[in-house]
Amino acid sequence: DQQVKQNSPSLSVQEGRISILNCDYTNSMFDYFLWYKKYPAEGPTFLISISSIKDKNEDGRFTVFLNKSAKHLSLHIVPSQPGDSAVYFCAARPPGGKLIFGQGTELSVKP
Amino acid sequence: DGGITQSPKYLFRKEGQNVTLSCEQNLNHDAMYWYRQDPGQGLRLIYYSQIVNDFQKGDIAEGYSVSREKKESFPLTVTSAQKNPTAFYLCASSQSGPGRNTIYFGEGSWLTVV
């Protein structure tokens, strides 16, 4: 049972435009959500997080939105840059529990 | 520099052999984790440890073993019982206890069975 789902395995965006990566979850007990970025043959790096008491968190070009009623999380990257090309994982955690990762979405930003 | 060091980066194993992947962290984190990444399957948790001398099975622990004799170290042994060991292995760590504790990852180790 996949509790965290990234339904788009890949996304292609033009440089300078907005990239929107989506993530859905099923467990309403999740209270902390994170996005990680991963280049090939490297470990994931933490990008941005949001707790369930908020609906938006922004850090530079990256903004995460949380819609608790829809159990939906999204990451917006504006403007997209070629260096943003990577696999993006969303993850969620229930209180005191372990992180559960989605399957990842591969973002390709074309110049 | 603080961080998580995994070694070796690339490892080849013959059928029937056990191999051990090393993971060391100097972040003073209490919790450590091992994940496996396969194409299209995201990151799956193998084992985790919240404290020294204690560890729990994750979602895919069969064919793997771990130890946590020191806070800084959490080696993973891939045994011959693991039927499909070729994968990218990721070690991670985090602070333990209540709160929104972010997991930080090492650079990963590629294991290939030949």
Q: What is the pLDDT of residue A5?
A: 94
**Chain B residues near residue A31 by CB distance under 8 angstroms:** 100
Instruction: Give Cβ neighbours of residue A92 (< 8 Å, ≥ 6 apart).
Output: A3, A4, A25, A27, A30, A32, A33, A34, A73, A99, A100
- Percentage with pLDDT > 90 across chain B: 75
pLDDT tens column, A34-77: 999 999 888 999 999 999 999 999 999 999 999 999 999 999 99
State residue A34's pLDDT score. 96
CB of B88 less than 8 A from some CB of A: yes
Name the minimum distance, in Å, from the CA of A28 to any CA of chain B.
16
Look at B15 and B76; give whichever has higher pLDDT: B76
With an 8 Å Cβ cutoff, are B108 and A43 in contact? yes
Residues 19-58 of B with CB under 8 A from A: 35, 40-45, 48, 58
Residue B113: predicted pLDDT: 87
3-class SS string, chain B: CCCEEEECCEEEECCCCCEEEEEEECCCCCEEEEEEECCCCCEEEEEEEEECCEEEECCCCCCEEECCCECCECCEEECCCCCCCCEEEEEEEECCCCCCCCCEECCCEEEEEC
Q: How far apart are CA B54 and CA B36, in angstroms?
A: 20
Residue B16 pLDDT exceeds 90: no
In order of A35, A70, A86, A94, B64, the CA distances from A27 in angstroms are: 17, 11, 27, 8, 28
Interface touch B105/A89, C-beta < 8 Å: no
What is the structure's pLDDT at B82? 87
Angle formed at CA B96 by CA B94 and CA B99, multiple of 5 degrees: 100
The pLDDT score that the predictor gives to residue B97 is 67
pLDDT of residue B42: 84
Q: What whole-number distance in Å separates Cα of residue B102 and Cα of residue A35? A: 10
Q: Is the pLDDT of residue B55 over 80?
A: yes
Output the CA torsion sign for B37, B41, B46, B48: positive
Q: Answer yes or no: are the C-beta atoms of A60 and A53 closer than 8 Å.
A: no
Segment B56-106, tens digit of pLDDT: 999 999 999 999 999 999 999 999 888 889 999 999 999 876 666 789 999
Q: How many angstroms separate the CA atoms of B66 and B34, rounded?
A: 9
Is the pLDDT confidence value at A98 over 90? no
Q: Report CA torsion sign: A64, A67, A73, A79.
A: negative
Strand-pair partners of A64: A57, A75
In which residue are the tokens 């030949």 written?
B114
Q: Of the given ranges (A14-28, A51-65, B31-45, B53-67), which has the lowest mean pLDDT?
A: B31-45
Task: Please tell me the predicted confidence (pLDDT) of residue A41.
Answer: 83
